[in-house]
Every structure is written in C-alpha cells, then in structure tokens.
Chain A
Amino acid sequence: MTNPATGRSLGLLLCLDCRATVRGAKASHSHCPRCHARLYVRKPHSLIVTTVLVVCAALLYIPANVLPVMNTRTIFEDERDTIMSGVLVLLQSGSWPIALLVFVASIVVPLLKILALGVLLYSAWRPSPHRRLQRSELYRMVEFIGRWSMLDIYAISLLATLVQVQSFASVIVGWGAWAFAAVVVLTLLAARTFDERLLWDTPQHD
C-alpha cells in the first residue's frame, strides 16, 4: 500500500502518559479516558523546542570542555582540571579502564548526542523517505545513552565533598562542571521533547 495506515490517518491518538490508544475526538483539546491526560497528535511544538534545546546544548558544550571542571588545591600546587585533563590524570595514574569510561561518558557521549539530535532535527525539518529506520534507531540510542554522561558530575560531587582537608588538599568545583551538567540536562530534555514520529511523517498529511 502506498500510504500505510498510521494512527493519524485513522484518527487514533496515543496517550503519552498511559500509552492507551484512543479514538480521537474532533475537539481541539481532548483527554485520555483512562488517565485524563491531555491528548496530542504530536508532542506540542516538538521541533522548535527541541531545536532550541539542542542549540543551547551545543553552545554550552564549548565552555563545558574549556572551563575547568575541578580545581584541586594542595599545599604544593593549584591544579585546574578540565574534563579532558581529568581523563589524562586517570590515564597517568594507571587506571586506564576508568579513564576510558570517563572519556566515553563525558566527551564522546554528549558530542554524539548533540550531533545525533542535530541529524534527527534536520531530517525532521526536511523529511526524506530514505533511511528512516536508521534514524529511528539513532533516536533510540540517544535516548538510551543520555543519562550516562551524568557520571562525571556525580564523581565531581563526591570528590568536592570528601576532599576538604584543610592544609592538605581541597577540591573546588569549577564552572565547567555547571556547563557540562547543563549540556547533559538539555540534551536529555531535547530527547524527551522530540517526537520521534516526526521522522516517519510524510510531507502530505491527512
């Protein structure tokens, strides 16, 4: 068949909160019979909101990696660490698996997310019938790995709380950490606001 039967074409709505399939009413606002949540055909303003979020995340990615994340002060030195230099420190101290983990989670993943979301957004703005499956899978991957970038934030919070030994060493959190957390949160939100069904919507809609 040339036009597969979509929910939209059949007038069926999917409740986002309880996953119930509901027959759509004609009124502009309708509620789910099961859970009384508001029903939408597609997530409201999905493209615009997601685009804004992704752009912000991309902008914040620069300071997140340039500004120091952690400032380790000992009686001998005052060491400022960015995410990258933290990875190198871990490498030098011999624990390369951890270094690899932090590298992947804190540098690769956010970048990947931003790029992936960018690709998805592009194909949502200008839909093309090719490779939709791969794009869906890309979205699923973005959703899955999103949360793991947070691990560096948790590590920093523990270090900053524990290493407060006066006259020996103290760790002070830098603004790079804030920017990095912002990137993670923004990309998480972007993944949530993005309606993946937009990838499959054909330009002509019914």
Chain B
Amino acid sequence: MTEPPAPSLDDLPAAVPARSRWSRLPLIWILPAVVIVAGAFVVVHEKLAQGTSIEILFENAEDLEANKTKIRYKEVEIGDVRDIHVAKDRKEVVVTAMIHRDASEYLVEDTRFWVVRPRISAAGVTGLGTLVSGAYISVDVGKSANPSEHFVGLEVPPIVTSDLPGRQFVLHADDLGSLDIGSLVFYRHITAGQVVGYALDPGGAGVTLTIFVNAPFDGYVTGGTRFWQASGIDMSINSDGIKLRTESLTSILQGGVAFQSLPGSAMTEATRDAAFTLYPDEERAMRPTETEIRTFVMYFNGSLRGLSPGAPVELHGIAVGEVKSVDVEYDRDAGTLRFPVVVDMYPQRIRGRKARGAQPPAKDDAQTSSRKLVDSLVARGLRAELKTGNLLTGQKYVDLDVHADAPAEKVWWADQPWVFPTVSNGLDEFQDSMGSIARKLNKVPFDRISYRLLSTMTSLEQTLKSTDQLMRHVDGSLAPQVEATLTEAQAALKNAKELLAQDAPLQSDLGATLLQLSRAAKAVTALVDYLERHPESLLRGKPGDSP
C-alpha cells in the first residue's frame, strides 16, 4: 500500500508573526497613562478647590500685601489677598482676594470686610497681635441671601457684628451730650450695649442715635422702657436737696446711656429699631406719665425766689403736682403786680377711698365729685403755701396742707385756670416777727437807762456818806454794841459803796453789757433785713435744675 509521502519540514508553513497594532503597545505605557491621569486629577482637583475670587475696595492698601495678607473669619483663615492695585478713578484701591471654596457661602451682599491692625479707640487697644503676625482682613458675614463678589471695605471695624445676639433701637435726643460711637449702654449699672451711630436730624432740631443692646438685655426693653443720658456726673440741686449720681467710671469719661422700665408698664418686648426718647437724666426719664392733669394757678405773697418750674407740689410730703411756670402779671384794676404760679396737679395721686362694694363714679360724676372733694378740703383749710425745701439751696416748693386758722376761701372754678387759695409762708412771718423784735430792741434807750442808773447810784452813795457821818456822830453816844453794830453796818455799807463806785467792776460790767446788748440788737436787725432780701445767701450758688 502506498501512503502519501510524509510532509517534509520545508513544506511546513512558517508561523506568520502577528502584526497587530496593539501588540506594539507594551505594558510600559501604563506608567505614563497612570501618571497623566493622576496629574490631570490633581490639576482638576486644584482648580475645583480653588474657590472664589472677590474684589474689596479700600481707601488705601496700608498693611496689605499681595500673596501674603490673609483673610480670616472668626480667626479662621478663609482666603488670602492675591493682587492690589489702584482703582481707575484713583479714589480707592482694589484688593483682589481668593476665598476658599468652603467659605464661598459667606460671600453675600452685606458681608463686611475690614483690616485688623493695631488700633486705639474709645473701646481700648485692639489688634496688637497683628504687630507680630502682620495685618489681616477680618470678615463679618451678613444675613442677606444674595451672593456678591464686590464689596466696599470698612475703614473702621464695626461696633457690632451681625452674629452678635441682640437688637438695635433708635433714640431721639435734643443733643448728643457727651455720647459718641462706642459709648456704653447700661441696664441696672451693667454694661448692656453700645451706641453704634448717631446723626443730626433733618432740620437740625435734634439728634437721632442708634444703639445696640446685647442679648439678654434686649429682652428688658419694652414699650414702657425709658432711656436717659447717664453721662458723667449727674448733680441735681432742687427742693429735695442735692443729689449726686454716676453710672460708672467709663461713663464719666465717655458718656453713656442707661435704661430701665417704668414699674407696672407693659411687658411686651420692643421690636427692632423701635424709637424712644432720650431723657437728660434719670429723674425726668422715670417720671410716670400722668394721664390726668388739672391746671391751677396760685398767687403767693412774698418772694418767689427759689421757686422754679419743675418744683413739686406736695401734700403731706407726697408729690401730687408740679410747678409749671412762674410769671408776673400786672393787675390793672388794683394797680399792683401779681405773681401767678401755674401748677399742674395730678388728681390720680389723690385717690378717694371708696367704701367696700361701692361703685366707682361715672366719668362726669367723677369730675364733679372730685371738685366736691377739693371744695370740702379747702373749706376745712387746705391751702397752698410756699416752703423752703432745702435751707442750703434755698429751693422752694409748694406745700398743700390743712391750716385750721386760715381765713375762709374758695377755689375759683370759674376762672381759667382755676385759682387755688394760698396762705403766707410761715417763715416769712417768722422773719417779720424777728424783724419787729429787733426793731423794738433798737428803740430801747439803753444809754439813758445806764445814765439814770448811774445817777441813782451816785445819790445813793451820797446818802451812804451822810449816813456814815451820822453814824460817827452817834458813835460816841451810843453803846459800844451799837457801835459794833454800827461798825458792822459801816463795813457793809462800805462794801456796798465799793461795789457801786463809779469805776467799780460791777458798774462797768453792767454798762458794758448793756452796750453790747444794744449793739447786738442792731446787728440782729441788720441780719434780719439782709435775710429778708437774700434768703439763699448762706449758700451762694445758682439755684436750678441738674446739668
């Protein structure tokens, strides 16, 4: 059997080398591929993490350096300054900064930027750390919802930052006094806030201040809260005496504002930016507002010096009214000058006691019944009298009291304003009587009395002399006992004679004493005259209200 011949090796096809494109790419290419991918990853990551570029306008670039100055929020670095150049209008400097990506949410419209550098201000020295670490830009994040990338930087750090809990209020005052931005606000002598700004009212009639009260004190500002200037030293001289008040050493130096709520006032918290009046002092601020005011006029005899508007009208020491004004009137009919004192009374303070279960009177009835009440009191002797509240200051006040011996008078309801009956001042009477005593004393002829006394003494002496002679005559004829007695009598008379001699001490003493008494009487007269004219002369000083 023939088999096909075995194929020889030469007939075998040779393996064809595979010429695929991909086999030419060895594994080594993984390395650059990995590197490029990693590099691209890094670049993209850096670009994404780059953050936002913003522009801040400042007046100048003091202490700022490109690529160096940092931007911090709550002391945490959130970006840095990249470029600084002068703006086209040459009025400010444009600072370009890069803010980190995770801080981009802080960039809203009312976010504020300022440069922190060492500063000395009313609040003290701040930013000393920047002497070593270099200045930085601090941020106060705003509350707006609109993002922004252009800001105007503050030249001065803000007094309050947005995240400080508390509330802003508005105060109206006549003048700024000693207040300034940064002046403190006190509540019960505790620092509760600061004055953040002020501006002159349009028209120049007053000043409007903006204050910021920190939490939790802002909760104590209600509708019934009163604000007053607690600046410096508050000294008032009035009929109650002299009062000295200060809030704190800081307020003495810088001025301050204090507030407190009127007792019994509304408890609802005041809203943001609510407006209040700024009173000049605590006294005036805390005066409760009177809802019912009745105006009277009183005519007083005697000097009205020392009675100033604002002086109280007191009933048994309780203030029931206030002097509104002191005027001069010329009464044509009588041809004399009159001095009406207009007084505001607060009838609320004189409450009628009602029996239990009795109904309060209706409004019209209330007026009539109150008139009736006043009439009945006046009929019993209720009068107004000027009294010196304080001898030191000479300030006077109006005192209402029942004078049992006062002449009968009535309230003149017909006149407008109503006329209230008055009595003279007790002190005036005392002055009058002192004056009359002094005058009487003056009239006593002390000279003649002493002269008379002298002549009487002289004649008495002569009598004694003759008696002495008589005794001598009797001397020889009477018994020696009589002589002894006479001798004793003689001795006694001699003593008396010595005592009553012209230049005897007793006589000269007596004469001198009488002379002094005469002089004293003259001096008292002069004093009383003077006091009558200048009652406050014991304390020279201006009578008047607090500064």
Interface residues of A in 125-172 (CB under 8 A from B): 166-168
Cα distance A167–B131 when bound, in Å?
9
Cα distance A168–B132 when bound, in Å?
7
The reply to whether the CB of B309 lies closer than 8 angstroms to some CB of chain A is no
- Tell me, rounded to whole Å, the shortest Cβ–Cβ distance linking A50 to chain B: 41
Chain A residues with CB under 8 Å of B132's CB are: 167-168
Query: Per-position contact with A for B112-140: 1 when CB-CB < 8 Å, else 0?
Result: 00000000000000000001101000000
Chain B residues with CB under 8 Å of A166's CB are: 134
Chain A residues with CB under 8 Å of B131's CB are: 167
Chain A residues with CB under 8 Å of B134's CB are: 166-167
Cα distance A120–B353 when bound, in Å?
130
Cα distance A68–B132 when bound, in Å?
28
Task: Select from chain B the residue with minimum beta-carbon distance to A164.
Answer: B68
Task: Select from chain A the residue with minimum beta-carbon distance to B131.
Answer: A167
Interface residues of B in 130-189 (CB under 8 A from A): 131-132, 134
Cα distance A166–B134 when bound, in Å?
8
- Tell me, rounded to whole Å, the shortest Cβ–Cβ distance linking B128 to chain A: 13
- Tell me, rounded to whole Å, the shortest Cβ–Cβ distance linking B280 to chain A: 50
Chain B residues with CB under 8 Å of A168's CB are: 132
Question: How many residues from B make CB contacts under 8 Å with A?
Answer: 3
Question: How many residues from A make CB contacts under 8 Å with B?
Answer: 3
Task: Select from chain A the residue with minimum beta-carbon distance to B65.
Answer: A166
Task: Select from chain B the residue with minimum beta-carbon distance to A166.
Answer: B134
Task: Select from chain B the residue with minimum beta-carbon distance to A168.
Answer: B132
- Tell me, rounded to whole Å, the shortest Cβ–Cβ distance linking B400 to chain A: 76
Chain B residues with CB under 8 Å of A167's CB are: 131-132, 134
Cα distance A166–B68 when bound, in Å?
11
Query: Per-position contact with B for A102-132: 1 when CB-CB < 8 Å, else 0?
Result: 0000000000000000000000000000000
- Tell me, rounded to whole Å, the shortest Cβ–Cβ distance linking A19 to chain B: 25
Task: Select from chain B the residue with minimum beta-carbon distance to A167.
Answer: B132
Cα distance A167–B132 when bound, in Å?
7
Cα distance A167–B65 when bound, in Å?
14
- Tell me, rounded to whole Å, the shortest Cβ–Cβ distance linking B120 to chain A: 20
Cα distance A166–B131 when bound, in Å?
11
- Tell me, rounded to whole Å, the shortest Cβ–Cβ distance linking B329 to chain A: 79
Cα distance A168–B134 when bound, in Å?
10
- Tell me, rounded to whole Å, the shortest Cβ–Cβ distance linking B81 to chain A: 15
Cα distance A168–B131 when bound, in Å?
10
- Tell me, rounded to whole Å, the shortest Cβ–Cβ distance linking A34 to chain B: 27
Cα distance A166–B135 when bound, in Å?
12
- Tell me, rounded to whole Å, the shortest Cβ–Cβ distance linking B114 to chain A: 22
Cα distance A167–B129 when bound, in Å?
13
Cα distance A166–B132 when bound, in Å?
9
- Tell me, rounded to whole Å, the shortest Cβ–Cβ distance linking A148 to chain B: 27
- Tell me, rounded to whole Å, the shortest Cβ–Cβ distance linking B117 to chain A: 13
- Tell me, rounded to whole Å, the shortest Cβ–Cβ distance linking B68 to chain A: 9
Cα distance A166–B65 when bound, in Å?
11
- Tell me, rounded to whole Å, the shortest Cβ–Cβ distance linking B116 to chain A: 16
- Tell me, rounded to whole Å, the shortest Cβ–Cβ distance linking A190 to chain B: 38
Cα distance A193–B134 when bound, in Å?
52
Cα distance A105–B134 when bound, in Å?
38
Cα distance A59–B134 when bound, in Å?
45
Cα distance A167–B135 when bound, in Å?
12
- Tell me, rounded to whole Å, the shortest Cβ–Cβ distance linking B284 to chain A: 54
Query: Per-position contact with B for A167-196: 1 when CB-CB < 8 Å, else 0?
Result: 110000000000000000000000000000
Cα distance A168–B68 when bound, in Å?
14
Cα distance A126–B207 when bound, in Å?
104
- Tell me, rounded to whole Å, the shortest Cβ–Cβ distance linking B9 to chain A: 41
Task: Select from chain B the residue with minimum beta-carbon distance to A75.
Answer: B132
- Tell me, rounded to whole Å, the shortest Cβ–Cβ distance linking A65 to chain B: 35
Cα distance A167–B134 when bound, in Å?
9
Cα distance A95–B134 when bound, in Å?
31
- Tell me, rounded to whole Å, the shortest Cβ–Cβ distance linking B13 to chain A: 40
Cα distance A167–B118 when bound, in Å?
15
Cα distance A83–B134 when bound, in Å?
32
Cα distance A59–B132 when bound, in Å?
44
Cα distance A5–B134 when bound, in Å?
74
Interface residues of B in 174-230 (CB under 8 A from A): none
- Tell me, rounded to whole Å, the shortest Cβ–Cβ distance linking B126 to chain A: 19
- Tell me, rounded to whole Å, the shortest Cβ–Cβ distance linking A77 to chain B: 16
- Tell me, rounded to whole Å, the shortest Cβ–Cβ distance linking B127 to chain A: 15
Cα distance A166–B63 when bound, in Å?
12
Cα distance A44–B132 when bound, in Å?
60
Cα distance A168–B133 when bound, in Å?
8
Cα distance A166–B133 when bound, in Å?
9
Cα distance A167–B63 when bound, in Å?
13
The 5 nearest A-B residue pairs measured at CB: A167-B132, A168-B132, A166-B134, A167-B134, A167-B131
* Sample (5) of A-B pairs whose CB atoms are under 8 Å apart: A166-B134, A167-B131, A167-B132, A167-B134, A168-B132
